[in-house]
Amino acid sequence: MKMTSKKPYVISALTSVVAFSTLVGLSAEASEGKGAMPYVQSGKSAPEGFASIDQLMEIQNYLDRIADSIVAKSEKVDANGYASIGISPEEKALTLHWKGSVPASINQVIKGMQEKYSARVESADYSKLELSAAMDRIQEKWQDNERARIASLSPLADGSGIRVAIVGDVEAARSLAPIRDSTVPVELVVGKKSSFHNNRQLDTSPYFGGARYDTVLGTCSTGFAVEDSSGNPYMLSAGHCVNHPNSGVYIPNTIPSKWEEVNGVLTPSKETAKLVGVKKYSVPALDSAMLAMGSTMARIYRGDTWSRATSTVNGMLGTYEGDYICTSGARTGEHCWGKVYITGVRERMDIAPDPSGYVYDVAWAKNINPGQVMIAHGDSGGPVFQHNQNGYGVNAKGIISMGSGGGGISCTGYTQTEPDTRPDTGCSDYVGFLPVVDLLKSYGSKFHLSTLQGL
């Protein structure tokens, strides 16, 4: 995997803050003078049967592109038939769940797959649109009570019904009218609250994804560079990071950073941070925001929390059950081997940006290596991606939104930039993220992903 850096120089995770801050004080022109820098994926072996992550990604990228083509055609010819797609890089296989007869144009895509790959079509009882409508009805009619609270709703991957996760008494929830009167089967499971994870350190213009920024609400990470239809640059990130009347975006110029009270609001201090932008647009229901930061570039930071290595963003792909993904937030750095196990989840949040109280269309992945971190507080908004098999860049998959249960595992395997004083560990081996394809669709045709090719 070839990487580049803002300077051909590797900084140890143990490098002092003073030494680090003197190295990142580059002009915009200097930051574009990027030399090649080799990068070795940290620690964790590939799943059985694969020699490397590149070998796996060659297969996954191909299957994802086939899946994207099927989804695009389904939206044109029969949106009422499509239920879901699952992929298995290990088996070089794709599974399409479809209600009714599969249109000829979609059968043609499947028949055109390379010989070494396989595909099967399984009959679904309900389409994705029908299951979405059923979740709407439950969500609208549901009222919390002291015995049961909805944690999340999601369509079952095989199109047979929906899953509702309950915090509290699952059996009590079964008898409540919104569940009892559902027009599609409902699988009730025990759930738990999810938590936003808002909390590489001193980025310079043009700004990259995976870098730290501060707001009056805390610390978060930049996601992916995008452009509007006029070519103006923006940065995609998590909406809950800037869900405040004062939506200023501050980039630290030294660590640790300082905060001061301004008009009764705790704000990043001018001594240690620079105001570089504001929230310009947002879609609260998808926990997304477009940050106007002056100058951005289609690169994301890779490696650990102090790394200066970057990769180009070559394009984007849809997210499907079975995908392997990586995260790269500013707080904990890069973590791979997250495997997507569910998509299309409506996650109930105590402080959701949307008035409904839900974040929609969340995809969840879990690290296949037990006890290994995927995200922690401060990684929110950061990039979720998969490697491009060309050996250079990455394909955008989503932005980090939340973790499971507010943590639950030890914060080991990364270098903390500042102590975490929260009562929970703040670390999670799960990551809930918002697929980039869905996020850009939600803004209509106003934005498109910024991309670069090569190093």
CA 372 vs CA 137, 284, 289, 328: distances in Å: 38, 30, 29, 14
47-97 per-position pLDDT tens digit: 777 877 888 888 999 999 999 999 999 999 888 899 999 999 999 999 999
φ/ψ bin of 221: left (φ > 0), alpha (ψ from -120 to 50), beta (otherwise): beta
What is the model's pLDDT at position 200? 84
What distance in Å separates the CA atoms of residue 412 and residue 414, rounded to the nearest whole number?
6
What is the model's pLDDT at position 1? 31
User: For residue 413, what are its two tokens?
Assistant: 């395997």
CA 441 vs CA 44, 286, 389, 434, 435: distances in Å: 34, 11, 26, 12, 10
Among 208, 271, 276, 269, smallest CA distance to 242 is for 276
Greater confidence (289 vs 27) lies with 289
Mean model confidence pLDDT for the chain: 82
Lowest mean pLDDT among 126-135, 145-154, 248-257: 248-257
Q: Which residues, in sequence order, are CB contacts of 351 under 8 Å at separation 6+? A: 196, 240, 243
Q: What is the dihedral of CA 242, 323, 407, 149, to 10 degrees?
A: 80
359-406 per-position pLDDT tens digit: 999 999 999 988 888 998 889 999 999 988 666 789 999 999 998 754
Amino acid at 235: M
What distance in Å separates the CA atoms of residue 291 and residue 225, rounded to the nearest whole number?
9
12: confidence class by pLDDT, cuts 50, 70, 90? very low
20: confidence class by pLDDT, cuts 50, 70, 90? very low
Lowest mean pLDDT among 9-13, 176-180, 182-186, 330-334: 9-13
Greater confidence (213 vs 198) lies with 213
Q: Which residues, in sequence order, are CB contacts of 302 under 8 Å at separation 6+? A: 3, 39, 210, 309, 310, 311, 328, 334
116-139 per-position pLDDT tens digit: 899 999 999 999 999 999 999 999
CA 133 vs CA 80, 128, 187, 189, 444: distances in Å: 12, 9, 16, 20, 21
pLDDT(27) > 80:
no
What is the model's pLDDT at position 204? 84
Amino acid at 192: K
User: Across residues 3-23, what is the average pLDDT?
Assistant: 24
Q: b/e string for 363-401 if b means 16 or more Cβ within 10 A?
A: bbbbbebeebbbbbbbbbbbbbbbbbbeebbbbbbbbbb
What is the model's pLDDT at position 106? 94
pLDDT(10) > 70:
no
- The pTM of this model reads 0.79
Residue 109 is classified by DSSP as: H
pLDDT(410) > 80:
no
User: For residue 283, what are its two tokens?
Assistant: 């879609």
Tell me if residue 181 falls in helix, strand or coil: coil
pLDDT(254) > 70:
yes
Q: Count of alpha carbons within 13 Å of 162, Cβ hemisphere only?
A: 28
